[in-house]
Amino acid sequence: MKVERYKRDLDHSYTLGATLTFELMKLRPDLALRVFICSDTQMTDSTKELIAICEKNHVEVEKNDKAFNILSPKGNCYVIGMFRKEKQKMEAGDHLMFVNPSDAGNMGTILRTATGFGYKDIAIIAPAVDVYDPKTVRASMGALFHVRVEYFDTIDDYRKLFEDNHRYAFMLTSSKDLEEVKTASPYTLIYGNEATGLPEEYASFCETVIITHSKEIDSLNLPMAAGISMYRFRRK
């Protein structure tokens, strides 16, 4: 099987690292295409366990040093999983929405936190970061395999499917603090781009919310704003 550097238009991606590859094999063995180990990989108990779970699922384990040169040139990784990308559809319920997010690491942290607080369905409005970017997969620590992420070209495409969700837009121009907001389910929590936030027009079709912070910072960072509000909406 040809190994090539990850690109968005590939039909597969990679789990870089043993723990992450373990998550892939435990959670979504149906997506796994192959597992690579390198000559330096130590045959510890956990490596043996990983090989066993691969055999059980008929996933080939291949010694392939070249794969590591291509996919992990820094050399701090001894196991790589290759898995098929899956086009996903959101289900009804409480949602998260990210409008034009651009940072792969941030998106991974967000998926991890979303999984921690039981949010399974995530909308992303394009253009946006690719959740299958190996950096996102890695930062998610496997949470990517717990969620359904669906991309939409426009907010209208999303609204056609889920018009009944109550929409909360997190905006620095809002005058309603997170603590004052009443939770109406099903809902969608909506966050903008890291640098530019949400376009002002979102205020016309959403209830706007702000997580009040001191004037000494311009804003909370995106995963933090998302994590704090996910937590509060789950606990209200």
Residue 27 CB, nearest approach to a copy of itself (Å): 9
Which residue among 12, 112, 138, 167 contacts a copy of itself (CB under 8 A)? Answer: 112
Residue 179 CB, nearest approach to a copy of itself (Å): 6
Q: Which is nearer to a copy of itself, 197 or 227 (CB)?
A: 227
Which residue among 109, 136, 174, 188 contacts a copy of itself (CB under 8 A)? Answer: 109
Residues in the chain, overall count: 236
CA atoms within 13 A on the CB side of 131: 29
Unique residue bearing structure tokens 């794969």: 67
Q: Does the protein bind a copy of itself through residue 211 (CB under 8 A)?
A: yes
Q: Does the protein bind a copy of itself through residue 101 (CB under 8 A)?
A: no
Quote the CA–CA distance of 29 and 52 in Å, as a whole number. 12
Residue count, binding to a copy of itself (CB under 8 A) = 25
Whether the Cβ atoms of residue 221 and residue 106 lie closer than 8 Å to each other: yes
Alpha helices for 40-186 (secondary structure H): 45-56, 65-71, 104-116, 134-139, 155-162
Which residue among 9, 11, 45, 218 contacts a copy of itself (CB under 8 A)? Answer: 218
Q: Does the protein bind a copy of itself through residue 135 (CB under 8 A)?
A: no
The closest of 82, 77, 86 to 1, measured between CA atoms, is 82
Q: Which residues contact 159 (CB under 8 A, 6 or more apart)?
A: 205
Given the rule CB under 8 A, which residues bind a copy of itself? 109, 112-113, 115-118, 141, 143, 146, 179, 211, 213-214, 216-218, 220-221, 223-224, 227-228, 231, 235
